[in-house]
Amino acid sequence: MREKLKALAELQKVDLEVAALRKAADIHPRQLAELERELGTARSAVEAERIRVADIERQRAALEQNITDEKDKVKKWEARLSEQRSTREYSALAREIDIAKKANQTMADELVELTKTLATARETVKGREAEFSTRQEQLTGRMDELKGKLAGVEQQVKELEGKRSGVATGVDATLLRRYELVRKKRLPALVGVVAGTCQGCNMNVPPQLYNNLRVSLGTDVCPSCNRIIYAVEALEPPAEK
């Protein structure tokens, strides 16, 4: 019985190593997600500035077109001044031309300010792009590092699972089936009983059950947590005579 128990304990040792590796690596996907969100936020900030520049460029193009259209209109009106037959018509058209020229001057002033705003916005974009490039390099490096760690863990787990397959062949088939059922719900699935207390749930087992475990050096089931239990003496090396 001692050999069967030792084989199962060895199997659980591998399972605990795998569980510990996976638990330690659990933080990596969360860290990766946080870094990806940070990178996305930084990218969105740059894109927002680019959109702003594009919007200003559209405003400027529309304003330039309006100015061109108004200048053409003024030229046409000025050409028609000499065609006016009455002083009243002449004065009315001259007044329209004057209003159009003033409006054109106002738009020209707006265009100057808009051009300044556009230049500032473009400089802002350049600065944001430079900042993003630097931050992207930093975040990508960190993300690659985390991905490398995850890959390392997966490789270790793969190696341990290979080892597990070999160890499992040495475990009693009936004991292995029971172990696998418990392992799906809780780990460790195999725990010792010390001074009558289950080390899995810290509850006392019936005295008769504890005595049977000590005598048989075999296994049983904890009435409280349903783990596989054994007397710790079963795995202790035999006393030298």
- Secondary structure (DSSP) of 20-58: HHHHHHTHHHHHHHHHHHHHHHHHHHHHHHHHHHHHHHH
CA atoms of 213 and 211, how far apart (whole Å): 5
Integer Rg of the chain from CA: 41
Residue 236 scores a pLDDT above 80: no
Band the pLDDT of 29: cuts 50, 70, 90: confident
Answer whether residue 31 shows pLDDT above 80: yes
pLDDT in tens, 94-137: 898 999 999 999 999 999 999 999 999 999 999 999 998 988 88
Q: What is the mean pLDDT of residues 45-68?
A: 94
Domains in the chain: ranges and CATH: 17-168 (1.10.287.1490), 173-235 (no CATH)
**Mean pLDDT in residue range 47-65:** 94
- The predicted model scores a pTM of 0.60
